[in-house]
Amino acid sequence: MSLQPLIDHFESYIPLNESEKQLLDDRVTHRQMKRRQAILQEGFPCRHYSFVVEGCFRMYKIDSKGTEHNLQFAAENEWIADIGSFHSGRPSQLFIEAIEPSIILQIDKEDLYFLYTNIPKLDRIFKVIIENKYVELQNRVLQTISSTAQERYLTFLEQYRNLALRLPNTQIASYLGITPEFLSKIRKDIAS
């Protein structure tokens, strides 16, 4: 499996030289995932940052009533990880699973820190990636507390334009904090 999608992703921020690309090649692992296969389960620490080459993932929590709450989706050229668990080493409260057959590239904590030290550009790149995700999270919290379900759905369509047709209604509804039936009503209202 080629690292080219990951290299292209990093180089959209800052170009890498050949020795930096080789260091990456030595530290990144490749995985093929089946639909519904997990890369993180509640109760276990998150050990990898995962870059999606093909496919789609969701990060979710299951509450005490057994209801799933989607927190994030990641598709091609996006990262997914429970960052708090990854950095603290504590057990995660979250699950991350493939929504469709997928290919990912993973970097574990020790290798990521090695890469930060030996490719300082990556430290800056990941800082920007995490800052962007933080802004996305802030916007999501603001949407949740101050927007209607229809406004949240329209924002979802803007943010996850490429996923809206790939995700089942149940997954989108869970992300928006509404029932699939209410999502259908919103879609009908928008279409009319």
In the predicted structure, residue 107 carries a pLDDT above the cut 70:
yes
Question: What percent of the chain lies above the pLDDT cut of 90?
Answer: 84
Complete DSSP assignment for 160-171: TTTTTTTS-HHH
Instruction: Compute the average pLDDT of residues 60-76.
Output: 94
Which of the two residues, 139 and 28, has the higher pLDDT score?
28
Q: Over the stretch 1-46, which tens digit does the pLDDT of each residue have?
A: 689 999 999 999 999 999 999 999 999 999 999 999 999 999 999 9
Residue 28 CA from chain centroid, whole number = 17
pLDDT of residue 162: 82
User: Tokens in use for 146?
Assistant: 């101050």
Q: How many residues does the chain have?
A: 192
Work out the mean pLDDT of the chain and round it to a whole number: 94
**Backbone dihedral angles phi then psi of residue 171, each to the nearest 5 degrees:** -70, -45
Distance (Å, whole) CA 182 – CA 8:
40
DSSP letter at 101 equals: S
| Edge-to-edge strand list for the sheet holding 38-40 | 38-40, 95-98, 56-62, 68-75
Q: Over the stretch 73-83, which tens digit does the pLDDT of each residue have?
A: 999 999 999 99
pLDDT of residue 1: 63
Confidence of residue 89 (pLDDT cuts 50, 70, 90): very high
Which of the two residues, 185 and 192, has the higher pLDDT score?
185
pLDDT of residue 65: 94
pLDDT of residue 143: 87
Domains of the chain, first to last: 4-119 (2.60.120.10)
pLDDT of residue 29: 97
Report pTM. Answer: 0.91
